[in-house]
Structure 1
Amino acid sequence: MQVIRPVGRDAGSKKYDILSAMMAHALAGDKHRQRQIMRLMALITARYNWQRNELSVGQREIARLWCVDERTVKREMARFRALGWLEIKRQGARGRVSVLELDLDRIMLDTKAEWPNIGEDFVSRVGGATPAAPADNTVVPFRRLSVEPGEGLWAAMRHHLRQEDAALFDAWFAGLADEGIEGGCLTLTAPTRFHATYIQTHLQDRLIIAARRCGTVISRLRVLSP
């Protein structure tokens, strides 16, 4: 999937593309999803700094904008963090509110199923192909693995990751082997050292979110190599 960066000459149209994807995702869901996405879109249009990828606003101000109480704000912001759409960039301290950032890659990935509702031109413009990994002669080709039904967290994660992005799954996740969870840390084994390093550097967050969406919260991820 092509990553949208709302900066540069076409920043304005890219911002509309992101908001359009969120809108289509909301309209395809029930009233609870629609209200949740509308609230985040209100924050984005009113308070989000696109250039710096920063959202800095207190819970009292958010409650006033959403016309809700602060407890509702806490719940909704926690849900967005659990989805991986919002992340803490700088923790608040000494009377200063926390600075949050949007994970635009995650948002676009989660809204991808609804892109065709906007139009084929939109799909063509923002879809693209999954970025190829950097070339490395140390990578040993491995057999593509099918996603067989199974039990346990890793089996559920494999199914989720395959549904989410088949090309990315085949390239990076299919060759991983489960070594279990201990102390909140999920350990996986990759076929090569480069493969393990790439997963840790570029795809760790996606695995942690996949575990969370499969009903298990992990605090760390470790990828070993032979």
Structure 2
Amino acid sequence: MLARKPTGRGASAIKYDLLTAMGSFALSQRRGSQLLVFRLLTLVTARYNWQRDHLAVGQREIARLWDVDERTVKREMAKLRGMGWLTLKRQGARGRVSEYGLSIERILEDTEPSWEAVGPDFVYRLSQEDEPTSNVVPLRAGEAAPKPDTSDGLEWSLAKALLHEEDAATYSSWIAALQREDRVGEHLTLIAPSRFHATYVVTHLKARILSACRDVDDTITNVMITA
């Protein structure tokens, strides 16, 4: 499924596909659910940072955008988190708004029944590169990856060495194939060999990867994994 970071070549198509999936799904729902999804769609279109997977908007601003009161905003955002469509990255505090990420994999899973209404080309585009449904089968079962080379001194090479030492089996199956794409300030971007691979790593291993990266370079605050 669509799990790549929606930036670079083809980014617009990826974004439009996700927004189309959300819109088509909303139109098939009852009014309450329909309105909730359209509210999120509007918020994402207006304020979501696709490159950083970052949504940081105050309740007052969201209330103005949605033409509702702040209590409604609080309730609707809680529903979206409960659905798994939004993930809380950092809780708001005095003088700082809450920060969210968009759970693209979960949104696509939930909206899949409505893809056919858009057309067979849409279904094909979002379904291609799917892997077996089990998310615990290693991509290179039985093949152990060698200990990573750290001679280049890059943060990702050093972090890979730590991850290999911690759990060689998981490293061989899911981490060894991740390649360093670039580093922009505090953000490190890694490339996975497939969308399924990227989705699995984001869901199950991203926290471990970020921790290892911070162990070797504490200026890293975020690791993006794309396909």
**Which amino acid counterpart does residue 68 of structure 1 have in structure 2?**
V
User: Matches of residues 49-68 of structure 1 in structure 2 within 5 Å?
Assistant: 49-68=49-68
Residue pair 1:4, 1:105 contacting (<8 A) in 2 also: no
Residue pair 2:88, 2:99 contacting (<8 A) in 1 also: yes
Query: 1:94: Cα distance to partner?
Result: 3.1
Cα deviations by residue, 1:98-136 (Å, 9 ceiling, x for unpaired): 111101111111101100000000011111243354212
Unaligned runs of 5+ in 2: 133-137, 144-168, 175-199, 206-227
Question: Structure 1 pair 85/17, CA: closer, same or farther in 2 (3 Å)?
Answer: same
Determine the structure 2 residue equivalent to 1:39: 39
The number of residue pairs the alignment matches comes to: 149
Determine the structure 1 residue equivalent to 2:142: 137
**CA distance, structure 1, for counterparts of residue 63 and residue 34 of structure 2:** 18
Residue pair 1:4, 1:104 contacting (<8 A) in 2 also: no
* Partner SS, residue 41 of structure 1: helix
Residue pair 2:36, 2:76 contacting (<8 A) in 1 also: yes
Determine the structure 2 residue equivalent to 1:17: 17
Once the two structures are aligned, what percentage of the paired residues are identical?
Answer: 49
Unaligned runs of 5+ in 1: 139-192, 206-226
**Which amino acid counterpart does residue 141 of structure 2 have in structure 1?**
D
**CA distance, structure 2, for counterparts of residue 203 and residue 49 of structure 1:** 20
Cα-Cα RMSD: 2.5
* Partner SS, residue 130 of structure 1: coil
Residue pair 1:2, 1:130 contacting (<8 A) in 2 also: no
Q: Which structure is richer in relative contact order (CA contacts within 8 A, separation 6 or more)? A: 2
Question: Structure 1 pair 201/15, CA: closer, same or farther in 2 (3 Å)?
Answer: closer
**CA distance, structure 1, for counterparts of residue 93 and residue 101 of structure 2:** 17
Residue pair 2:56, 2:97 contacting (<8 A) in 1 also: yes
